[in-house]
């Protein structure tokens, strides 16, 4: 597959936001030209509407109007960037009107719905408006999607970003701050709150937010329950002997739910070469074999395994190494993007549409000019055979004052638009 | 020393019309003015702006093929860009709404760019040119382009200090054969009649025909249509002049007869009296000759000024007034009584904002509204109040947008504010 132009539309906030950023990195890694729609920049203004103290119908009107502006901003970006694909992450701010417009304009759209479809049911409202709908669950969900008019569903489990989720040397201070025998990094969902009460007597740190109001766990919660950055997560994973990974649930009757999808933490911990105890998921068998991931199916089993692996560091290390190997081989965001692109090419006839591509070099360029352009291409992280059109876009993405060569490239592009591409 | 850069990538006439802006910057103490122009206009830029440092770049088509253009853009232009970035410009005046100008602005801190800037890959239009785009829907009351460009500077020099008052120079009359847009020009037989009438009134011993190589044939046709006694006194210089010799010829004339052309602006720059014929999309209040001592005959119809790019559904009826036999009498006498239907005769003058044209024949029906608009713009530019009227409210509603004052301004305040 040749280099594509992909516009990644991030959500305003939330769990799919870091995933969207990994997706953008992975696509760039794969040699594609990526533009990111930075929806989070709009979020503070959107939130400020809540402070208006106005009637609810007014507030709803204003919120919808605001989201319409955001959607229109995405459309404007599409018009300028001319992507082969608009890849929206779950909760991306693209309203139905905008999606219909993209369809009318023949712009291929995909959503990666990295949410639990049983809990987040809003997919029913817009899934058919996307050309491709990638999901992290299987089974009936595919039939449901088909029933509402979305035939192009793709199972695309979450993954890790190996240049970010990686083994890391930590300083003594960092080990002290982020390290412990056992830790959990994640939000305080009801099943976790109950489950972790059994572990309060251990060297156990809880990281993440939404843990407030729980007096039993309060002493274990780090940073006063503040949101942990993705960078800090990687340090926690690396500094912890046994990382707990209990998938979330809003009910407390069954603490280990045995659900289907695999959360991103599973892949991220493995990519970090960190040892984890993770609750068994029905889709786990597709992703890992037994000796790559140590799982539990009940709280009793979890406690037993904590005791066992606390005493067997070599086995922890062996699991971690095999898990990391598997992730690097099959479960990176680059793998996922390759799968998404292949699937799109299969399902959308004629995709990607051929686009005109001029070479970045002409035969009569003097050697010093060719050298400077090669340096520019390398500096921008572009493939050596990048087209002139993609080079122009990459130059445009830069911030601040541009160099004379950058400007000359942009100027030439405009000149060609005005006076044609005569050979 | 403070360095100022003017980027003027448009054509001949536009370059000359940048003069009030350039002169304003040159009048600032310790100022050095730089001018970035298309390479084809470099000699002209040096002629008109001898005090400025000229930076030529490849901006126009020039019939180059793709490969050659690429090479020149990436070598010659780049060298020029290097020279530009070597200077620490106080302000960059980027005058043309064009993708080329936006890209060129990428060399500079957007906070220092007036007009059309580039900020992190985004094209940014300043408030003043954005306002101008809004009033293009009201062209009849618009202002002279020379004053518009000078409007970037609150300290713009007095309009009468821009060009010398036009006086005859003694070497006959010049006739410009056509402008870039043919619909705005008079056909050769009509032009010959204008030339003959003027030559008779002025008792001229010499007529020179001016234009590019493509107008040489039109020149022959004008000669053919002249009375026999004038044919011998007429020299067809179309295609035979360079910038220097064109300036020498134009600067020696008693009068230049012309449609809206670059040569007309050159004459105004040199203080040679202009008699101009404005029709179709040409509107003298926007691009008439700058200075005192010029005459303009402006076609007036409800559909004027029109869009040059749109086909004319009435076969350029605005030409009829000029073809009317009465027009020759108006041309000879400048008496209002001789003015045919559809033509207005105007003499150039100034008000506080800049160039105006005062009718001596025909009625300028927009004069009142134009005057109120000029008051409005005058206050916008200078901060000097005038008695507000209902018109101010209407202008403000039309030409300011909410974002101009609600959100952060798109670019810096002009100096002096």
Residues A350-376: tens digit of each pLDDT? 999 988 888 888 778 889 999 999 999
- The residue behind tokens 């509603």 is B397
Alpha-carbon torsion (B357, B363, B366, B367), positive or negative: positive
CA distances from A238 to A183, A269, A326 (A): 11, 8, 18
Q: Is the peptide bond before A299 cis (omega within 30 degrees of 0)?
A: no
B314/A contact by beta carbon, under 8 A: no
Test B77 with A411 for CB contact under 8 angstroms.
yes
Q: Are B177 and B185 in contact (CB under 8 A)?
A: yes
- How large is the ipTM? 0.82
| pLDDT attached to residue B181 | 66
Which letter does DSSP use for residue A402 in this model?
P
- The residue behind tokens 């008779």 is B200
Q: Show which of residues 67-86 on chain B sit within 8 Å of chain A, judged by CB atoms.
A: 67, 69-71, 73-75, 77-79, 81-82, 84-85
Q: Are B176 and B259 in contact (CB under 8 A)?
A: yes
Write the secondary structure of chain B as one string of H (helix), E (strand) and C (coil). CEEEEEECCCCHHHHHCCHHHHHHHHHCCCEEEEEEEEHHHHHHHHHHCCCCEEEEECCCCCCCCHHHHHHHHHCHHHHHHHHHHCCCEEEEEECCCCHHHHHHHHHCCHHHEEEEEEECCEEEECHHHHHHHHHHHHHHHCCCHHHHHHCCCCCCCCHHHCCCCCCCCCCCEEEECCCCCHHHCCCHHHHHHHHHHHHHHHCCCCEEEECCHHHHHHHHHHHHHCCHHHHCCEEECCCCCCHHHHHHHHCCCCEEEECCCHHHHHHHHHCCCEEEEECCCCCHHHHCCCCCCCEEEEECCCCCCCCCCCCCCCCCHHHHHHHCHHHHHHHHHCCHHHCCCCEEEEEEEECCCCEEEEEEECCCCCHHHHHHHHHHHHHHHHCCCCCCCHHHHHHHHHHCCHHHHHCCCCCCCCCCC
| pLDDT attached to residue B227 | 94
Q: Report the pLDDT averaged over residues A84-95.
A: 95
Residue closest to B237 by CA, chosen among B257, B217, B256, B216 = B216
Examine domains B2-124 and B173-366 and report if their fold is the same.
yes
Q: Are A218 and A277 in contact (CB under 8 A)?
A: no
pLDDT in tens, chain B (417 residues): 999 999 999 999 999 999 999 999 999 999 999 999 999 999 999 999 999 999 999 998 777 777 787 888 889 999 999 999 999 999 999 999 999 999 999 999 999 999 999 989 888 888 899 999 999 889 999 999 999 999 999 899 999 999 999 999 999 999 999 866 678 889 999 999 999 999 999 888 899 999 999 999 999 999 999 999 999 999 999 999 999 999 999 999 999 999 999 999 999 999 999 999 999 999 999 999 999 999 999 999 999 999 988 899 998 999 999 999 999 999 999 999 999 999 999 999 999 999 999 999 999 999 999 999 999 898 888 877 777 778 888 888 888 877 776 665 433 343 333
B416/A contact by beta carbon, under 8 A: no
Test B81 with A413 for CB contact under 8 angstroms.
no
Test A418 with B120 for CB contact under 8 angstroms.
no
Quick one: how far is CA A199 from the chain centroid?
31
Residues in chain B, total: 417
> What residues pair up with B3 in beta bridges, in sequence order?
B32, B89
SS3 A89: strand
Residues in chain A, total: 423
Which letter does DSSP use for residue A226 in this model?
P
What is the pTM assigned to this prediction? Answer: 0.81
Q: Are B89 and B5 in contact (CB under 8 A)?
A: yes
A367/B contact by beta carbon, under 8 A: no
Structure tokens at A212: 């407030």
Distance CA(B346)–CA(B363), nearest Å, equals 10
Mean pLDDT of chain A: 93
Residue A418's closest chain B neighbor by CA? B61
Distance CA(B129)–CA(A272), nearest Å, equals 54
* Answer CATH for A172-330 from 3.50.50.60, 1.10.3720.10, 3.40.50.2000, 3.60.20.30: 3.40.50.2000
> What is the enclosing helix (H) or strand (E) of A278?
strand A276-279
Residues of each domain in chain A carrying CATH 3.40.50.2000:
172-330
Alpha-carbon torsion (B109, B111, B112, B113), positive or negative: positive
Distance CA(A410)–CA(A393), nearest Å, equals 9
- The residue behind tokens 């790559």 is A292
SS3 A237: helix
B58/A contact by beta carbon, under 8 A: yes
pLDDT surpassing 90 at residue A50: no
The residues, any chain, with a CB within 8 Å of residue A115's CB and separated by 6 or more, are: A15, A16, A90, A91, A123, A136
- Which pLDDT band holds residue A421 (cuts at 50, 70, 90)? low
pLDDT over 90, % of chain A = 79
| pLDDT attached to residue B257 | 97
- Which pLDDT band holds residue A15 (cuts at 50, 70, 90)? confident
Residues of each domain in chain A carrying CATH 3.40.50.2300:
5-159+333-347
pLDDT surpassing 70 at residue A277: yes
**Exposure of B416 by Cβ count < 10 A (0-12 exposed, 13-18 middle, 19+ buried)?**
exposed
Here the contacts of A105-112 (C-beta below 8 Å, separation 24 or greater) are A105/A78, A106/A353, A107/A78, A107/A83, A108/A84, A108/A132, A108/A344, A108/A348, A108/A351, A108/A352, A109/A85, A110/A85, A110/A86, A110/A134, A110/A340, A110/A344, A111/A87, A112/A16, A112/A19, A112/A23, A112/A87, A112/A88, A112/A156, A112/A340
Would you tell me how many other CB atoms lie within 10 Å of the CB of residue A297?
Answer: 11
CA distances from A20 to A10, A133, A138, A373, B199 (A): 6, 15, 21, 31, 77
B205/A contact by beta carbon, under 8 A: no
Structure tokens at B153: 């500077």
Q: Among B58, B103, B111, pick the best mutation site for testing chain A contact (most A Cβ within 10 A).
A: B103
- The CA R_g of chain A, rounded to the nearest whole Å, is 24
CA distances from A376 to A410, B73, B84, B258 (A): 13, 16, 20, 50
Tell me which residue in A404, A414, A420 faces B78 most closely, judged by beta carbons.
Answer: A404
Residue closest to A268 by CA, chosen among A36, A90, A13, A18 = A18
Q: Are A24 and A34 in contact (CB under 8 A)?
A: yes
Residue closest to B149 by CA, chosen among B41, B308, B16 = B16
Query: How far does the CA of residue B118 sit from the closest CA of chain A (Å)?
Result: 9
| pLDDT attached to residue B396 | 84
A402/B contact by beta carbon, under 8 A: yes
Q: Report the pLDDT averaged over residues A122-130.
A: 90
Distance CA(A306)–CA(B246), nearest Å, equals 94
A314/B contact by beta carbon, under 8 A: no
A368/B contact by beta carbon, under 8 A: no
Q: Report the pLDDT averaged over residues A302-309.
A: 96
Q: Are B257 and B198 in contact (CB under 8 A)?
A: yes
Residue A413: its chain B contacts at CB < 8 A?
103
| pLDDT attached to residue A423 | 40
Test B107 with A407 for CB contact under 8 angstroms.
yes
SS3 A288: coil
A357/B contact by beta carbon, under 8 A: no
Tell me which residue in A362, A369, A411 faces B103 most closely, judged by beta carbons.
Answer: A411
B109/A contact by beta carbon, under 8 A: yes
Q: Among A358, A411, A417, pick the best mutation site for testing chain B contact (most B Cβ within 10 A).
A: A411
Query: How far does the CA of residue A45 sit from the closest CA of chain B (Å)?
Result: 13
Which letter does DSSP use for residue A290 in this model?
G
Residue B121: its chain A contacts at CB < 8 A?
396-399
| pLDDT attached to residue A1 | 61
Q: Are A279 and A245 in contact (CB under 8 A)?
A: yes
Residue A410's closest chain B neighbor by CA? B103
What does CATH list as the number for A5-159+333-347? Answer: 3.40.50.2300
Distance CA(A143)–CA(B283), nearest Å, equals 67
Query: How far does the CA of residue B74 sit from the closest CA of chain A (Å)?
Result: 6
A303/B contact by beta carbon, under 8 A: no
Test A407 with B71 for CB contact under 8 angstroms.
no
B173-366: CATH topology: Rossmann fold (3.40.50)
Structure tokens at A371: 């050298």
DSSP string across A124-157: HHHGGGSSEEEES--THHHHHHHHTT---EEE--
Domain coordinates in residue numbering, chain B: 2-124, 173-366
Residue A392: its chain B contacts at CB < 8 A?
none
Q: Are B268 and B291 in contact (CB under 8 A)?
A: yes
A413/B contact by beta carbon, under 8 A: yes
**Exposure of B353 by Cβ count < 10 A (0-12 exposed, 13-18 middle, 19+ buried)?**
buried
The residues, any chain, with a CB within 8 Å of residue A245's CB and separated by 6 or more, are: A184, A263, A265, A266, A269, A276, A277, A278, A279
Query: How far does the CA of residue A90 sit from the closest CA of chain B (Å)?
Result: 27
CA atoms in the 13 A half-sphere facing the CB of A300: 0
By DSSP bridging, strand B234-236 and strand B207-210 are parallel
B2-124: CATH topology: Rossmann fold (3.40.50)
Residue B113's closest chain A neighbor by CA? A401
Distance CA(B158)–CA(B143), nearest Å, equals 15
Distance CA(B112)–CA(B95), nearest Å, equals 14
pLDDT surpassing 80 at residue A140: yes
CA distances from B91 to A334, B31, B35, B153 (A): 46, 11, 12, 11
Query: What is the number of CB-based contacts under 8 A between chain A and chain B?
Result: 96
SS3 A97: helix
């Amino acid at each position: 597959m040749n280099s594509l132009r992909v516009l990644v539309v991030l959500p305003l906030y939330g769990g799919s936001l870091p995933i969207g950023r990994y997706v953008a990195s992975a696509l760039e890694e794969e040699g594609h030209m990526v533009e990111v729609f930075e929806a989070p920049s709009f979020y503070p203004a959107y939130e400020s509407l809540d402070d208006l103290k106005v009637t609810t119908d007014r507030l709803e009107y204003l919120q919808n109007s605001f989201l319409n502006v955001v959607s229109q901003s995405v459309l404007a970006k599409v018009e300028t960037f001319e992507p082969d694909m608009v890849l929206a992450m779950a909760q991306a701010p693209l309203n139905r009107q905008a999606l219909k417009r993209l369809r009318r304009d023949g712009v291929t759209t995909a959503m990666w719905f990295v949410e639990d479809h049983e809990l987040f049911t809003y997919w029913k409202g817009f899934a058919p408006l996307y050309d491709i709908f990638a999901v992290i669950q299987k089974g009936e969900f595919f039939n449901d999607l088909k029933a509402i008019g979305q035939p192009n569903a793709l199972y695309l489990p979450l993954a890790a970003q190996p240049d970010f989720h990686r083994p890391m040397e930590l300083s003594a201070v960092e080990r002290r701050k982020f390290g412990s025998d056992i830790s959990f990094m994640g939000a305080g969902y009801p099943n976790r709150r109950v489950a972790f009460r059994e572990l309060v007597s251990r060297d156990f740190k809880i990281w993440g937010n939404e843990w407030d109001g729980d007096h039993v766990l309060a002493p274990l919660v780090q940073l006063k329950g503040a949101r942990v950055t993705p960078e800090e997560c990687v340090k926690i994973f690396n500094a912890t002997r046994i990382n707990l990974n209990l998938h979330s649930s809003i009910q407390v009757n069954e603490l280990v739910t045995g659900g289907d999808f695999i959360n991103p933490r599973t892949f991220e911990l493995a990519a970090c070469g960190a040892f984890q105890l993770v609750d068994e998921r029905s889709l786990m068998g597709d992703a890992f074999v037994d000796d790559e991931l140590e799982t539990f199916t009940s709280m009793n089993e979890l406690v037993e395994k904590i005791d066992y692996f606390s005493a067997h560091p070599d086995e922890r290390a062996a699991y971690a190494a095999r898990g990391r190997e598997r992730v690097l081989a099959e479960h990176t965001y680059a793998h996922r993007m390759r799968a998404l692109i292949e699937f799109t090419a299969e399902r959308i006839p004629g995709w990607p549409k051929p686009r005109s591509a001029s070479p970045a070099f002409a035969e009569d360029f003097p050697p010093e000019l060719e050298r400077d352009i090669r340096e520019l291409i390398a500096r921008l992280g572009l493939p050596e055979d990048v087209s002139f059109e993609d080079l122009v876009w990459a130059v445009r993405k830069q911030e601040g004052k541009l160099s004379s060569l950058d400007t000359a490239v942009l100027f030439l592009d405009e000149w060609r638009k005005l006076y044609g591409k005569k050979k | 020393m403070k360095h100022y850069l003017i980027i003027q990538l448009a054509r001949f006439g536009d370059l000359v019309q940048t003069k009030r802006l350039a002169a304003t910057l040159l009048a600032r103490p310790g100022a050095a003015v730089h001018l970035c122009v298309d390479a084809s206009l470099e000699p002209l830029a040096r002629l008109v702006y001898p005090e400025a440092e000229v930076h030529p770049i490849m901006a126009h088509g020039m019939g180059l093929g793709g490969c050659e253009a690429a090479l020149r853009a990436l070598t010659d232009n780049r060298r020029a860009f290097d020279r530009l970035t070597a200077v620490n410009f106080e302000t960059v005046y980027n005058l043309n709404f064009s993708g080329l100008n936006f890209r060129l602005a990428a060399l500079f801190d957007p906070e220092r760019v007036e007009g059309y800037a580039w900020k992190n890959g985004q094209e940014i239009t300043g408030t003043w040119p954005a306002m101008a785009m809004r009033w293009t829907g009201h062209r009849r009351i618009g202002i002279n382009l020379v004053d518009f460009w000078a409007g970037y500077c609150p300290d713009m020099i007095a309009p009468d200090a821009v060009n010398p008052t036009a006086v005859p120079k003694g070497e006959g009359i010049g006739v410009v054969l056509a402008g870039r847009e043919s619909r705005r020009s008079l056909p050769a037989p009509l032009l010959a009649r204008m030339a003959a009438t003027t030559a008779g009134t002025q008792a001229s011993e010499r007529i020179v025909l001016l234009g590019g190589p493509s107008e040489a044939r039109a020149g022959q046709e004008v000669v053919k249509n002249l009375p026999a006694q004038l044919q011998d006194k007429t020299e067809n210089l179309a295609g035979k002049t360079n910038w220097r010799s064109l300036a020498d010829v134009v600067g020696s004339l008693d009068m230049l007869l012309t449609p809206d052309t670059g040569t007309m602006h050159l004459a105004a720059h040199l203080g040679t009296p202009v008699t101009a014929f404005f029709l179709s999309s040409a509107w003298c209040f926007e691009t008439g000759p700058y200075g005192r001592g010029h005459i303009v005959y402006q076609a007036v119809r409800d559909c004027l000024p029109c869009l040059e790019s749109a086909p004319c559904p009435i076969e350029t009826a605005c030409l009829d007034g000029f073809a009317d036999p009465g027009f020759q009498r108006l041309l000879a006498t400048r008496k209002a009584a001789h003015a045919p239907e559809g033509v207005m005769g105007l003499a150039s003058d100034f008000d506080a904002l800049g160039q105006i044209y005062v009718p001596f024949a025909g009625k300028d029906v927009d004069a009142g509204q134009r005057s109120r608009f000029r008051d409005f713009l005058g206050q916008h530019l200078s901060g000097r109040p005038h008695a507000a009227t209902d018109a101010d409210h209407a202008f403000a509603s039309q030409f300011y947008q909410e974002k101009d004052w609600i959100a952060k301004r798109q670019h810096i305040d002009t100096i002096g504010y």
